[in-house]
Structure 1
Amino acid sequence: GDPRLRLFITHSGLLSTLESMYNGVSVLGMPVFGDQQANMIKVQRDGWGKVLFWDQLTFDNLKNMINSVMNDTSMKIEVARRSKIMIDRQQEPAEVALYWIKYVIRHQGAYHLRCPAVT
């Protein structure tokens, strides 16, 4: 998350959309297939990005949407709020990983946690 980034133009896949939210950057989504359209419709409804469908793509539409998202203060506030929620956690990921590594060692491989389907 480069702090100079003011807008993320994406195909609207789940991971890139979540990464944008985590970093507090508004989104201009141009979904291609699959879940991407639903992802961007939710982002737009939640107020931290806009969707531009391919059949609406013209130079002027793209330019206007870029300017609209980059200059929308309410979107910046909303994505910053969501970023804070995402980042806030009780433990750091490294602490959680260390706990589970030690847990497996303490319980000789923790075979009781293995999925029965795994042989």
Structure 2
Amino acid sequence: MKIGELSKLSQISIRMLRYYEEAGLLAPKRSVSGYRQFEIADIERVKLIHKLNSAGLTLKVIRKILPCWQHQNKKFSPCKEFKNGLSDTLLKLDEQIELLQQSRSHLISLLNEN
């Protein structure tokens, strides 16, 4: 299938699909005329990539953990790389939460100074 059809079936924009390809997350074959040719399994693959990215994982981390996904079974089994990537992402989120809480406290103290 061509990129437009993959976009419709996966509900992921063509622009994002090209971005995933540039990031090494997709490797479509090319037709003689140069068009990208995607497989049926790529539909679930791009949905998974989008879901993981929306959950806060970087594309670099996703590229490392994609081998955990067994596309023939449409199953995602947590492997060591996935767990490590998830742990790193959780640590970063905790750091961001702490910074936001500090910012919030500073703003509240500024409001209470009057």
TM-score (norm 1): 0.35
TM-score (norm 2): 0.36
Structure with greater helix percent: 2
Which fold has the larger relative contact order, with Cα–Cα distance below 8 Å and residues 6 or more apart in sequence? 1
